[in-house]
Amino acid sequence: MKQFEVPNGYRSPLITAIKQKRKADDKLKKDFSPTLLDLGTVQFYLARHFGFCYGVENAINIAYKTIEENQGKRIYLLSEMIHNPQVNADLIQKGVKFLHDTNGNSIIPLDELNSNDVVMIPAFGTTLELEKIINDKGIEIQKYNTTCPFVEKVWNRSEQIAKKGYSIIIHGKPKHEETRATFSHAASNTPTLIVNDMNETKMLGAFILGKLSETDFIQYFEKRYSNGFNPTLDLEKIGVVNQTTQLATDTQAISDYLKNIMVEKYGIEHIESHFAETRDTLCYATNDNQSAVIGLLETTADLAIVMGGKNSSNSSHLVELCEQKLPTYFIDDASKIIDEYEIISNDWKTKNAIKVNNYIPKKSVVKILMTSGASCPDAVVESSIQKIAGYFGKQNELEQLANEWMEY
């Protein structure tokens, strides 16, 4: 896989050494057991896979090259490039300005742009409508496109399904930038609808089976379907794709549920004419990170720490998995670890910050599970490990352990 130039400030010598050793020992990625950093009175268990993915490194690489090649020009991003506060803050410090917030609300009016400006597409992609507005201003937006290749893969899958006459059902968070972009691309080819979760999917299934009226459908899925969507006709042939960072188990369950609905309505002998079998459209990093957390949770521990931006979908799902088993704290950097008694954690559902006291139990040996989202720099993870190790007086042991890993 292609390697990218990523600023050293995002790297961690310790974690890089660990990842390289684990990769060399497990080239087929079949071992999802965690890596133990044993410091005696505190033990850190690192997930087999975490941190920057291909798409994020690709986006960072393009963004920094764009800045370097366009000195003196005004440089904009359509929205946050990725959901990570450190990376976005660094881009702002280098002069990049965001045109929209994560919900698509305008920060800088597009009327202020001119043909001499540089505009980058974020890793989530963008809508065809917004892309056209920028292009009509004489700005070559595709020249600086950081869209993740795995997001584009979903768009291509949607187009393939559309050509066979299927409508698209997107499993995604309706307000997320990636879902909005995927909706725009899919809707340009075929009738398209967004479902957020299984509850909404069951409502959709009830309509398909004639248990809900068209009025109910329109009210329930308002603003979730494409222009001209005819629920009676357009739900006779469907295929499911997703926002790439959703929980794999959730997407599979939604796809299976809708397939069973179509079997119930049309019969198993006609299913291929009414339901498009699609391979999972989650990106490899989402799959790997979620599988690694499942492996991580087989370890008995006292708490888990998940690092990532509070708006990061893939990070939030890692928190969701961890908190089913043990106390879990969701932070974006080491500054949220106030001291050995207090931590400020983000609620992955509401995005609100919550102050938690006595998060580290008083035990002779404390075991901590650690992972991070695909847009979180490894340096953030290492700094958090260093900070907690310091509370146990284990800085020297951690440094020695790091040197041993880097000697492999």
Convert the pLDDT of each residue in 207-226 to its tens digit: 999 999 999 999 999 999 99
* pLDDT single digits (tens) 367-394: 999 999 999 999 999 999 999 999 999 9
Residue 362 within any structural domain of the chain: yes
* pLDDT single digits (tens) 137-179: 999 999 999 999 999 999 999 999 999 999 999 999 999 999 9
Give catalytic status of residue 178 as yes or no.
yes
Indicate the average pLDDT of the chain.
94
- List phi, psi (to 5°) of 242: -145, 165
Share of the chain above pLDDT 90, in %: 91
40 and 65 belong to one structural domain: no
Number of domains composing the chain: 3
Which pLDDT score is estimated for 1?
61
pTM of the model: 0.92
Share of the chain above pLDDT 70, in %: 99
Which pLDDT score is estimated for 282?
67
Which pLDDT score is estimated for 406?
86
Q: CB 120: neighbour CB atoms within 10 A? A: 26
Q: End of a domain among 243, 276, 309?
A: 276
Which pLDDT score is estimated for 190?
98
Of 178, 200, 320, 382, which one is the catalytic site residue? 178
Residue 3 within any structural domain of the chain: no
Alpha-carbon span 140 to 131, nearest angstrom: 10
299 and 395 belong to one structural domain: yes
Flag whether pLDDT at 238 surpasses 80: yes
315 and 349 belong to one structural domain: yes
Flag whether pLDDT at 319 surpasses 80: yes
322 and 387 belong to one structural domain: yes
Give the contacts of 82 (CB within 8 A, at least 6 positions apart).
56, 59, 60, 88, 122, 123, 309, 312, 375
* pLDDT single digits (tens) 245-284: 998 889 999 999 999 999 999 999 999 999 998 866 767 7
159 and 135 belong to one structural domain: no
191 and 130 belong to one structural domain: no
For position 218, which CATH number holds? 3.40.1010.20
262 and 342 belong to one structural domain: no
Band of residue 287 on the pLDDT scale cut at 50, 70, 90: confident
190 and 216 belong to one structural domain: yes
302 and 384 belong to one structural domain: yes
Alpha-carbon span 247 to 171, nearest angstrom: 10
Residue 193 within any structural domain of the chain: yes
Residue 69 within any structural domain of the chain: yes
Measured CA distances, 151 to 56, 122, 156, 166 (Å): 12, 11, 9, 20
Residue 190 within any structural domain of the chain: yes
Q: CB 230: neighbour CB atoms within 10 A? A: 12
Provide the residue range defining the domain that includes 188: 151-276
The SS3 of residue 148 is coil
61 and 48 belong to one structural domain: no
254 and 166 belong to one structural domain: yes
* pLDDT single digits (tens) 291-310: 999 999 999 999 999 999 99
Which pLDDT score is estimated for 8?
86
Angle formed at CA 152 by CA 146 and CA 158, multiple of 5 degrees: 155
Q: CB 165: neighbour CB atoms within 10 A? A: 12
Q: CB 284: neighbour CB atoms within 10 A? A: 15
Question: To which residue do tokens 């931006």 refer?
Answer: 309
Q: End of a domain among 117, 144, 171?
A: 144
Decide if 393 contacts 366 (C-beta within 8 A): no
Q: End of a domain among 108, 124, 144?
A: 144
Mean pLDDT of 338-350: 96
Give the contacts of 88 (CB within 8 A, at least 6 positions apart).
80, 81, 82, 98
Burial of 185 (0-12, 13-18, 19+ CB in 10 A): buried
Q: Between 286 and 282, whose confidence is greater?
A: 286
**Where do the H-state alpha helices sit in 212-353?**
214-220, 231-234, 248-266, 284-296, 313-322
- Which structure tokens are listed for 110? 């597009």
For position 70, which CATH number holds? 3.40.50.11270
Question: Under the phi-then-psi rule, with left for phi > 0, alpha for psi from -120 to 50, and beta for the rest, what region is 163?
Answer: alpha
43 and 65 belong to one structural domain: no
Please compute, for residue 304, the number of CA atoms within 13 A of its CA located in the half-sphere on the CB side: 27
Residue 331 within any structural domain of the chain: yes
Residue 126 within any structural domain of the chain: yes
Mean pLDDT of 68-96: 95
Which pLDDT score is estimated for 352?
97
Which pLDDT score is estimated for 325?
97
Residue 1 within any structural domain of the chain: no
